[in-house]
């Protein structure tokens, strides 16, 4: 009788522990993500955050892109303003699939992005399909598969350098009838990838051993109960 009570108590404790372990394993892991800015330009002053780029590893074996224009461009947006081209390269020649592009956008390979050079992939849309927020997915890729340099072409803004009487650059303003810049190329680097997320871990072998041990213990308890009845 005493042995049976001990087995039942141990079984309850181990059972609660096993359920807790399974719940811990079932917790969703946070996706790896990296964000950076495109702060170089072929025409406008360098050092401003013109666009933001975010890459996120999704749960289906791909990387989601989100490219957005920021205030230095959005504040001078004119008619039909937005991103018209976006370029990036891979670290190897693996076959990846690009999905989820906006309507009228297409994929071009080995194309230049002004002075920032040639990229493996140049996504581009027609003038009517410019957007201030570009999103798409590269299936079959991870963050490590991309080269560090990214580039974008934005059009449809009116940027003017107003020079004051001292020969210094003043504020950026609407161009009106003055000669102004209406499009430019931008670039930026992804830099160093973040360290692996500690929450993204494989299921430890100890969890499965724990489950096997629990099953064995409960089996012993069941046999002992049958012997005593």
pLDDT in tens, 3-58: 555 545 555 544 544 444 444 444 344 469 999 999 999 999 999 999 999 999 99
The answer to the question of residue 68 being in a domain is: yes
Same domain, 22 and 40: no
With contact defined as beta carbons under 8 Å apart, do 7 and 219 qualify? no
Residue whose C-alpha is closest to residue 83's, from 150, 175, 22: 150
Q: Would you state the pLDDT for residue 42?
A: 96
- In three-state secondary structure terms, 46 is coil
The answer to the question of residue 138 being in a domain is: yes
Q: For the residues 74-99, what does the mean pLDDT come to?
A: 92
Most confidently predicted of 145-149, 201-205, 208-212: 145-149
Residue whose C-alpha is closest to residue 61's, from 3, 119, 141, 124: 141
Q: Would you state the pLDDT for residue 130?
A: 97
Q: For the residues 72-92, what does the mean pLDDT come to?
A: 94
Whether pLDDT at 205 is above 70: no
Q: Which two tokens stand for residue 178?
A: 């003055």
Same domain, 38 and 16: no
71 is in which domain, residue-wise?
A: 33-189
User: What is the domain count for the chain?
Assistant: 2
Q: Which two tokens stand for residue 62?
A: 């791909």
Same domain, 149 and 136: yes
Round the average pLDDT of the chain to a whole number and report it.
77
Least confident range from 40-54, 71-85, 167-181: namely 167-181
The answer to the question of residue 200 being in a domain is: no
Same domain, 154 and 223: no
- Beta-bridge mates of residue 133: 68
Go through the chain and tell me how many residues it has. Answer: 229
For 114-150, write each residue's pLDDT tens digit.
999 999 999 999 989 999 999 999 999 999 999 999 9
Confidence of residue 111 (pLDDT cuts 50, 70, 90): very high
Same domain, 219 and 142: no
Same domain, 81 and 149: yes
Same domain, 61 and 167: yes
With contact defined as beta carbons under 8 Å apart, do 137 and 99 qualify? yes
Q: What is the DSSP letter of 90?
A: B
Confidence of residue 154 (pLDDT cuts 50, 70, 90): very high
Confidence of residue 179 (pLDDT cuts 50, 70, 90): low
Rounded-to-integer distance, Cα 181 and Cα 172, Å: 11
Q: Would you state the pLDDT for residue 70?
A: 98
Full-model pTM: 0.68
Plot region of 216 (φ>0 → left; ψ -120 to 50 → alpha; else → beta): alpha
Q: How far is CA 212 from CA 14, 18, 225, in A?
A: 11, 10, 20
Percentage of residues of the chain with pLDDT beyond 70: 62
The answer to the question of residue 204 being in a domain is: no
Same domain, 185 and 119: yes
Whether pLDDT at 175 is above 70: no
Same domain, 100 and 181: yes
């Amino acid at each position: 009788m005493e042995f049976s009570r001990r087995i039942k108590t141990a079984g309850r404790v181990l059972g609660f522990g096993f359920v807790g372990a399974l719940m811990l394993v079932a917790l969703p892991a946070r996706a790896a993500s990296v964000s950076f800015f495109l702060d170089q330009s072929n025409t406008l002053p360098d050092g401003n955050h013109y666009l933001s780029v975010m890459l996120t590893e999704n749960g289906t074996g791909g990387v989601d892109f989100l490219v957005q224009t920021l205030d230095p461009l959005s504040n001078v947006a004119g008619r039909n303003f937005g991103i018209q081209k976006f370029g990036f390269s891979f670290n190897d020649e693996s076959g990846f699939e690009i999905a989820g592009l906006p309507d009228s956008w297409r994929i071009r390979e080995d194309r230049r992005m002004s002075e920032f050079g040639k990229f493996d992939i140049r996504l581009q849309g027609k003038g009517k399909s410019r957007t201030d927020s570009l999103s798409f997915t590269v299936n079959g890729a991870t963050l490590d598969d991309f080269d560090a340099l990214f580039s974008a072409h934005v059009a449809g803004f009116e940027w003017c350098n107003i020079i004051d009487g001292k020969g210094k650059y003043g504020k950026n303003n609407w161009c009106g009838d003055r000669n102004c810049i209406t499009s430019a190329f931008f670039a930026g680097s992804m830099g160093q990838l973040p360290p692996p997320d500690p929450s993204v871990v494989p299921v430890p072998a100890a969890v499965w051993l724990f489950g096997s041990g629990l099953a064995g213990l409960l089996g012993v308890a069941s046999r002992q109960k049958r012997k005593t009845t």
